[in-house]
Structure 1
């Protein structure tokens, strides 16, 4: 009987997922970004999680807190195509997706692909463009394809959108529609650096001889490695009680009297996928309640809407989510 137990334990050990290479790659990416970016560890880790979970990220913060630089340098650590789109109030959908142009030689229309046809897309100040242009991103972000003139064009993997935006209180911005926000895995809020971090930022800038910070960043990941790691994430073990825990959290947003709009099943799937990525980064082939708690706020905060009464009382989505989690029993 004891021998059988030992054999079962040996089989279980041998079937564990090897996460050494994944962890090593993540550590190297963080090291590369650390050459330039001071602090902002939460933003960096969530962006890496979004890559592993194959999800888009919306980065919100006041100007000058390294939103664009971090996303751009993170893309530099990957040996994939990169495209940057600056959103402006006069930007048209064809400026993003592309357009059909008449070829005089062949007497036929040819589709010229826009900058959206890349692997990593950095959309700077996404909330500067009007609704018509925002709508052009819906199909690409959700289905990783676009349809023009009745023809569907697939996006080559990996296809990830990193978008930055200033707070909606800034002048000349548009509020993103809920349907578009729901297509972002994370909404990452970037805060000011601490006093110590700002001192280090100034010291690094003073000592830095080369102004081209991109030249300091080495390439770590290939497209094949990213695809491989994304596949590994899918094999992370999730116990039934944790699946029920995720479902209970999201379901509570729909029945909560303090919320006007709750989260959809897309949010549940996002929590599941992101939790797996967090577990893998930490070298575990199974998720824990702490993994779930780590990703709940950035996944739900842009998917829920507070009631007018709660907004008038000064409540925020983050505080509501924190209170909500405390009401859900943690699986043991």
Structure 2
């Protein structure tokens, strides 16, 4: 027999979880169940509060966010989570569902490798040998729908340095030295390589780091050819790379270098090497925002669990 409707299916619309709790609390106060057992077995308010109590214990662990991200970085787990959001399933039923999707696993493997990890971070629960998504699991699944490749884009079983750096880059690009203040210098190159390979961050080509600037020398003191004048006039106060200067003037990069050498000889321009910087690609921004939303959901759920604890003490 199927378990009663999972809490993940309570429709809260765009309400905050805390507001939904207050609304359900009001319903609870006006409820008059025939027996306490009926209240416990059928009341969604009781189930939600009980779930939040358990989640509070789970989320209180120091490495919860890291554990949550690592659990989610598994395609089979996410496939199961998407299934149990819609209803409760036994292990046997999940095995059949996975077979149809091309996943061949024993029931022991499904239980130990996929269901247990989902339950360990509060995404799934079990009642009478049937598994369903918790309210937290249901809301999290909705967020993951905006980034279908989440399970495969970052390394599993990691310390989540990649996730931390993506979050930091949301505020703007970082130089290599700035990145090293966020992540241990020992692993920086490895983390950056993973993110670049996954097309999540980008950095300008090597030539882009050398910028040309106008000096304070008066150009009227020098005799310039028309092309030299064109190149000189297109150098902005903030400086410019050779590639950008070629685009502005319509000249080839080779010719730009030729005229810049002449201008440097006349002490009208000078070069400055800017530090290498890293920024998010469009894909990287999308993932970074998703990671931020997941953390916000955890914080909101934690706050709601505090509300439950306070209301029970008062």
Coarse TM-score class (shorter-chain normalised): under 0.3
- Higher Rg: 2
TM-score computed with the length of structure 1 as normaliser: 0.26
TM-score computed with the length of structure 2 as normaliser: 0.28
Q: Which has the higher helix share?
A: 2
Q: Which has the higher strand share?
A: 1
